[in-house]
A and B are shown apart, each in its own frame.
Chain A
Amino acid sequence: MSTSALEIRQVSKVFVKKERDRARFAHVKREKVVALANVTLSVNRREIFGVLGPNGSGKSTLIRLLSTLLIPDKGTIRIFGHDVEKEEFEVKRLINRVSVDAAFFKKFSPLENLTYAARLYGMPMREAREKMRQIMLHLGLKEETFNQPMEHMSRGMQQKVAVARGFLTSPTLLLLDEPTTGLDPHSKRNVQGFVRQIRAEHDATILLTTHDMEEANRLCNRIAIIDEGKIIALDTPEGLKSLVSKRNDHEPTLEDVFIQLTGKKIEEKEVE
């Protein structure tokens, strides 16, 4: 059995953007966009691993590759020893994902959406129902909202249901793609506490992408900084901060590291 939870070796992904040329009839312009370029990293079991990068840097592409939603052009990805391309089904049983866009059947209630997810993951319903209730209450959702249509809920509440869906199946590798975006500070703390809890109780490994430097600093054992599809730094939060310690008169923060290494602020560039 592999000692790493996740092994990414020389992975590249290029997308072809097609755009109709208005000046020339039936002519389509094709532009190659490099989302990831030769990315190599490994994540240890029970580690909370952060990926920081500006919008469009390749973070979500990386998460989608790990989620079996994209196939790499080059390189290999192994999750607990299983190749994501060749052993897709085994990988799917081990993972779950929370993404920044809380996608649901909008007219369904949280319970209906979570029931759908639980059945897809083959969970016994008695166990699943109890777990859904517990997780949603823990995340601060009130019981009276459990049966109300998702479309009537605020963005933050929808995101909490998305988080509950990710935690529901107790994944061995949890992929969190900006999970706390849109949440109030209290809810953020709840989610962060839950991330630690799921690691402690379920022996889970967590890969987290975030724009929140404080969140990354607080949660992550190690952090990779990614820009234009390449990993430009990888270390513990303290290790990363030591890279800039001599250049500033104040105690360095992850944001200082980020700005210095990428030359950008975290919010820069267009959305992926």
Chain B
Amino acid sequence: MNTLVREMRGAFAFIERNINLVRRYWGWELVWLIYSLVNSLAVTYIGAGMERISGQSLDTQYLITYLLVGTLIWSYLSVIFYSISEMIAWERWEGTIEYTFMAPVSRLTHLVGTTLFAIVYGVLRTLVILLIVASFFHLDLSGANIPGAVLLLLAGSVSFVGLGIVAAVLPLLYPERGAQMTNAAAAVLLLISGVYYPVETLPGWLQVISAASPATYVIRGMRACLLHGESTRALISTVLVLIGAGIVVIAMGLLIFRQVERYAKRAGRLKRSG
């Protein structure tokens, strides 16, 4: 019981720290929110303009919703990915990494605190973007399966937590450029996961790689729910696969993190700040 209370306090340390970081760096948050919002609008306007671009009659409403679902889901998943991968990068930037790693708190607790914050923050941020973007376009989600979409999104979050842990080792290994390397990893996921186009558009070899990205299944499932009203029952197998894959990726991520942390302690890599 004592241990549980202690670990809960530890997890709350990371939640509270991240809330304080958002409050103190609100300017960055605002810039980042505007960037995401403008990006979502720009991508969605591609759908709105397709009829003019191609000179053919198209289902513009469908295209708009198709792109909007992709951009919003990507916005949410990337918040989860970055919030977790930055759990080390922040400590590098501020120079506090040694103090956090010296504290009697397990890496799992560190992760639980960071993940809880990331999910709540990601949902709130995506809702703000959705509300603003929705005011620019006429969205018809009357036939959508919203509970199914939420279930799928939560299941997809598990895998992204795992990917975030794997990416978090980069700033541990490479103090100066690790954080930038996580951007490259996110960009690859964006390319292969069918965020703005069906993965079938990609060359065959990239389609094979796209099958390994959890985002591919989340985005495909979300479109089925929101555009075609796919039933929750039909989504169960995808949800189970995503949760199963998520658990495997988290376990792998923790294992990799543990090994890299040991390497960093052997090589003296915790000392330097980025």
Contacts and interface: CB of A to CB of B under 8 A. Distances in A.
B265 A122 contact: no
Interface in A96-132: 96-97, 99, 101, 103-108, 112, 115-117, 119-123
B21 A123 contact: no
A106 B7 CA distance: 26
B16 A103 contact: no
Contacts of A209: none
Contacts of B10: 119-120, 122
A71 B16 contact: no
B45 interface: no
A69 interface: yes
A70 B267 CA distance: 8
Which one of B13, B101, B102 has the highest number of Cβ atoms from chain A below 10 Å of its Cβ?
B102
B265 A70 contact: yes
Contact of A120 (B24, B100, B266): B100
A93 B12 CA distance: 18
B271 interface: yes
A105 B96 contact: yes
B259 interface: no
Nearest to A96: B102
Contacts of A121: 103-104
Contact of B99 (A64, A70, A103): A103
Contacts of B104: 89, 92-93, 120-122
B268 A67 contact: no
The number of chain B residues touching the other chain, given as a range, is 20 to 34
A247 to B, nearest CB: 39
B98 interface: yes
B228 interface: no
B14 to A, nearest CB: 9
A91 to B, nearest CB: 9
A69 B6 contact: no
A68 interface: yes
A68 B265 CA distance: 8
A35 B9 CA distance: 37
Contacts of A95: 102
B20 A71 contact: no
Contacts of B177: none
Contacts of B105: 120, 122
A150 to B, nearest CB: 10
The 4 closest A-B pairs by CB, nearest first: A119-B13, A122-B6, A120-B103, A92-B104
21 contacts: A68-B102, A68-B265, A69-B271, A70-B265, A70-B266, A71-B265, A93-B104, A99-B98, A103-B95, A103-B96, A103-B99, A104-B94, A104-B95, A104-B96, A107-B21, A107-B25, A119-B13, A120-B105, A122-B7, A122-B105, A149-B24
Interface of A: 15-16, 64, 67-71, 73, 89, 92-93, 95-97, 99, 101, 103-108, 112, 115-117, 119-123, 149, 165
Given A120-B103, A122-B104, 18 more contacts: A15-B268, A16-B267, A64-B271, A67-B98, A68-B265, A70-B266, A89-B104, A92-B103, A93-B104, A104-B96, A105-B24, A105-B96, A106-B94, A119-B9, A119-B12, A119-B16, A120-B105, A122-B6
